[in-house]
């Protein structure tokens, strides 16, 4: 299929799905408007997957169609834009902007390399540790893994004469895989580490009435996350080893980069101070009563007052405003689906097919389906939007503890990005470097997925039990 045919198909398929659903008889138990809303919603999700236009544009068109079809009132369609969690993500994007603009993210990574980068394995752990440190403030895992860390990984590979077409296995291929899979884990560890995480929490609130704080998410993720970050690089080191094991030159390279950056600047110090302050306030929200969004906006306001960020920087952060548009649209549509009874109707039909199956078996089956169906997705947010509400509702209807279901599918929404070279925004960046063949990427991705499932949902569920979360 040529590019023109693909473009035509990417338009026709979402439209046809929406039209076909809309003209089918309205099922018993649903209103006509609810049925039409489901048609628009599913058409939107397929549009996100096919992407005839950027997802923000598709979201805007969807809002317009709900008005033209008289399915939603304007206030209902636009209600998602007033949700505080969406503004948390916008603010966190601006935190990420400050890390990149001031160079603090690069400085952290290079400083850690000077202390720990004496071997290829230590280099991998050091890069992943850098990712972990800055992950709470970078909801764009593409910006974190791609904008901050990929140039460092690529530069290190070149420094050791490891190029895609020359000695790729010397160090480059291993470091590429280690950081990508490490980013998969760090994306799951904080509510603000991946743009879709607050969407999980919003959908859980709408479907089950469960509201999770930033601190609760981080506490639930810390044990399985740290174990996964310890195990996965070592596993890759054993099954996909670099040819070069010792890398003392990396420390010299990092020292050179730090020397070129010069002494730590006022702006870097200020960003570090604001970031640490935000972490403290996020993690103590149960004591202070401060909403996570308020804390994030306080941090951004501080950066504006201290001129770390200019208002033009805010306006130029396209990722934040693009996320605001598509996420606001999805939250609005998903909220109205829940209110109209569509989610309950869908989960009721599916759960009736699982009568007689224990809640634990049901949860495991649903987890495996939810996780590995991501082979068919090129976007974590599209995956979450299409499936998250339905899966947690079915699991709870089968008897699974509500908080356990919310955690299982929220973390799986990130960890499934290990699978393919198109699974999430950072994947094409790292795969596109040309170090790792597609067949190897998929093989390692599947192996890592099994490790993550065992750690996060085996050890993790025990940890959540200890915390009293289920």
- Contact yes or no for 94/300 (Cβ under 8 A): yes
pLDDT score at 111: 86
Closest listed residue to residue 21, CA positions, set 88, 69, 93, 82: 69
d(CA 46, CA 48): 5
3-state secondary structure the chain: CCHHHHHHHHHHHHHHHHHHHHHCCCCCCCCHHHHHHHHHHHHHHHHHHHCCCCHHHHHHHHHHHHHHCCCCCHHHHCHHHHCHHHHHHHHHHHHHHHHHHHCHHHHHHHHHHHHHCCEHHHHHHHHHHHHHHHHHHCCCHHHHHHHHHHHHHHHHHHHCCCECCECCCCCHHHHHHHHHHHHHHHHHHCCCCCCCHHHHHHHHHHHHCCCCCHHHHHHHHHHHHHHHHHHHHHHHHHHCCCCCCECHHHHHHHHHHHHHHCCCCHHHHHHHHHHHHHHHHHHCHHHHCCCHHHHHHHHHHHHHHCCCCCHHHHHHCHHHHHHHHHHHHHHHHHHHHHHHCHHHHHHHHHHHCCCCCCHHHHHHHHHHHHHHHHHHCCCHHHHHHHHHHHHHHHHHHCCCCHHHHHHHHHHHHHHHHHCCCCCCCHHHHHHCCCCCCHHHHHHHHHHHHHHHHHHHHHHHHHHHHHCCCC
Closest listed residue to residue 413, CA positions, set 367, 344, 445: 367
Task: Record the tokens describing residue 187, joined without a space.
Answer: 């994306």
pLDDT per residue rounded down to tens, the chain (470 residues): 566 767 788 899 989 999 999 999 988 888 899 899 989 988 987 887 787 888 789 889 999 999 899 888 888 888 878 877 678 778 877 877 887 788 887 788 788 888 887 888 998 999 999 899 988 887 778 778 877 788 788 878 887 888 888 888 988 899 999 999 999 999 999 998 988 898 899 889 988 888 888 999 999 999 999 999 999 999 999 999 999 888 787 788 888 888 988 999 999 999 889 988 887 887 777 678 787 788 888 989 999 999 999 999 999 888 788 878 877 887 788 778 777 877 677 766 666 666 678 899 999 999 999 999 888 777 788 788 878 988 998 899 888 999 999 999 999 999 999 998 878 878 877 888 889 988 899 999 999 999 999 999 999 999 999 999 98
Q: How many CB atoms lie within 10 A of CB 425?
A: 21
d(CA 41, CA 65): 10
* Residue whose structure tokens are 């206030």: 75
Kindly report the backbone phi and psi dihedral angles of residue 168, in degrees, each rounded to the nearest multiple of 5, phi listed first. -60, -30
Is the sign of the CA dihedral 117, 123, 129, 131 positive or negative?
A: positive
In residues, how long is the chain? 470
């Amino acid at each position: 299929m040529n590019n023109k045919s693909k473009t035509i198909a990417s338009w026709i398929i979402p439209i046809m799905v929406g039209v076909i659903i809309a003209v089918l008889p309205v099922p018993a138990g649903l209103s006509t408007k609810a049925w039409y809303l489901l048609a628009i919603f599913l058409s939107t999700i397929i549009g996100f997957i096919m992407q005839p236009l950027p997802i923000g544009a598709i979201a805007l068109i969807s809002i317009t169609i709900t008005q033209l079809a008289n399915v939603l009132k304007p206030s209902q369609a636009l209600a998602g834009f007033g949700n505080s969690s969406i503004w948390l993500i916008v603010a966190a994007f601006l935190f990420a902007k400050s890390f990149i603009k001031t160079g603090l993210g690069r400085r952290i990574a290079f400083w850690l390399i000077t202390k720990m980068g004496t071997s290829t394995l230590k280099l991998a752990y050091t890069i992943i540790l850098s990712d972990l440190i800055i992950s709470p403030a970078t909801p764009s895992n593409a910006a974190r893994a791609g904008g901050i860390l990929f140039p460092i990984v690529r530069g290190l590979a070149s420094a050791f004469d490891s190029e895609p077409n020359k000695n790729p296995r010397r160090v480059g291929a291993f470091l590429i895989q280690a950081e990508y899979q490490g980013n998969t884990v760090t994306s799951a560890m904080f509510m603000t580490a991946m743009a879709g995480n607050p969407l999980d929490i919003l959908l859980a609130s709408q479907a089950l009435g469960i509201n999770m704080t930033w601190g609760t998410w981080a506490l639930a993720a810390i044990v399985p996350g740290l174990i996964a970050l310890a195990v996965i690089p070592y596993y890759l080191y054993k099954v996909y080893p670099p040819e070069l094991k010792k890398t003392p030159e990396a420390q010299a390279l990092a020292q050179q980069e730090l020397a070129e950056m010069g002494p730590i600047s006022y702006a870097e110090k200020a960003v570090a101070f604001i970031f640490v302050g935000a972490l403290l306030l996020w993690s103590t929200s149960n004591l202070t009563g401060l909403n996570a969004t308020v804390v994030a906006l306080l941090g951004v306001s501080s950066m504006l007052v201290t001129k770390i960020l200019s208002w033009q920087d805010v306006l130029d952060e396209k990722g934040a405003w693009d996320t605001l548009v598509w996420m606001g649209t999805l939250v609005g549509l998903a909220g109205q689906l829940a209110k109209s009874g569509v989610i309950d109707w869908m989960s009721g039909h599916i759960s009736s097919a699982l009568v007689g199956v224990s809640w634990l078996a049901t949860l495991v089956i649903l987890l495996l389906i939810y996780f590995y169906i991501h082979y068919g997705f090129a976007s974590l947010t599209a995956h979450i939007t299409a499936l998250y509400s339905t899966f947690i509702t079915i699991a709870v209807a089968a008897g699974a503890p509500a908080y356990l279901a919310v955690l299982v599918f929220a973390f799986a929404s990130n960890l499934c990005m290990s699978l393919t070279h198109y699974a999430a925004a950072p994947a094409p960046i790292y795969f596109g470097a040309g170090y790792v063949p597609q067949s190897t990427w998929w093989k390692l991705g599947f192996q890592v997925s099994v490790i993550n499932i065992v750690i996060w949902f085996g050890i993790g569920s025990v940890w959540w039990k200890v915390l009293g979360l289920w």
